[in-house]
Amino acid sequence: MTQQEKQLLLKDLCARLPYGVIVHFDGWNPEKLTDIDLHTMVVNGMGGLPIPYLHPMSSMTEEEYLEYSETREWKYVDDDHYEYFDTLETFDWLNANHFDYRGLIPMGLAIEATDGMYKTE
Give the tens place of pLDDT for each residue, 22-52.
999 887 889 898 888 776 666 677 667 889 9
DSSP class of residue 116 equals T
Starting at the edge strand found earlier in the chain, the sheet holding 42-43 runs 36-37, 42-43, 46-47
Residue 19: the pLDDT is: 95
- pLDDT at position 75, please? 85
Q: How far is CA 83 from the centre of its chain?
A: 24
**Angle at which helices 62-70 and 88-96 pack, to 10 degrees?**
150
Report the pLDDT value the prediction gives residue 70, as an integer from 0 to 100.
Answer: 95
Checking DSSP bridges between strand 51-54 and strand 22-24, what pairing results, if any? antiparallel
Q: Is the pLDDT of residue 71 over 70?
A: yes
What does the pLDDT read at residue 86? Answer: 92
pLDDT at position 25? 86
Least confident of 6-10, 59-63, 100-104: 6-10
| The pLDDT of residue 78 | 81
13, burial (CB in 10 Å: exposed 0-12, middle 13-18, buried 19+)? buried
